[in-house]
Amino acid sequence: ACPGRAEVADLELVLAVDASGSVDESEYRLQLQGIAAGFRDSAVREAIRSGPEKRIAVNLLTWAEPQAPKTETGWYLLARDDDAERFARLVESLPRTQNGATGLGEGIAAAVRSIGANGYEARRRVVDVSGDGEETPAREYVLRLPEARMMAEANDVVVNGLAIQNEAPSLAGYYRD
């Protein structure tokens, strides 16, 4: 890539994974193993190569306590099966460094900021966020979910949600809204 110029991809994707206190170790591992399995799936690998640029840029970010720094894999450019396999191995071995409250808004905001500073340019920008609970009221000023949603919209970033429904029966509706 040329200095000062963004590298082009078909998609900039952040996988934002809930690591808050309500997520037990098996749920955390389930999220990571599911993502890793996705990148090993032949249909996903074909989709990675299906766009005009034949590659995507991806970053996995874990979030929890709103004020705590987020953990990220960093950005990876995936174009070949071995790129996807390397990323899958990294994801499934990612240690848990987050815990605490459910800072969903700050998690999404961190993902959007990551897209804005990644050095890639794509027509599609997406945050896929997974979590098992509603946002916890913050003890100090942080970006809450409504502000994070506006931030994503202002930056032309689509936010998809995957509700891990185990204790909160209305969580899918919360994520949909």
Walk along the chain (177 residues) and give the pLDDT tens digit of each residue. Answer: 445 668 999 999 999 999 999 999 999 999 999 999 999 999 999 999 999 999 999 999 999 999 899 999 999 999 999 999 999 999 999 999 989 999 999 999 999 999 999 999 999 999 999 998 888 876 676 777 788 888 898 989 988 888 777 777 787 887 887
pTM: 0.86
d(CA 11, CA 1): 17
d(CA 91, CA 2): 29
- Rounded to 5°, the CA angle 143-63-67 comes to 45
pLDDT at 141: 65
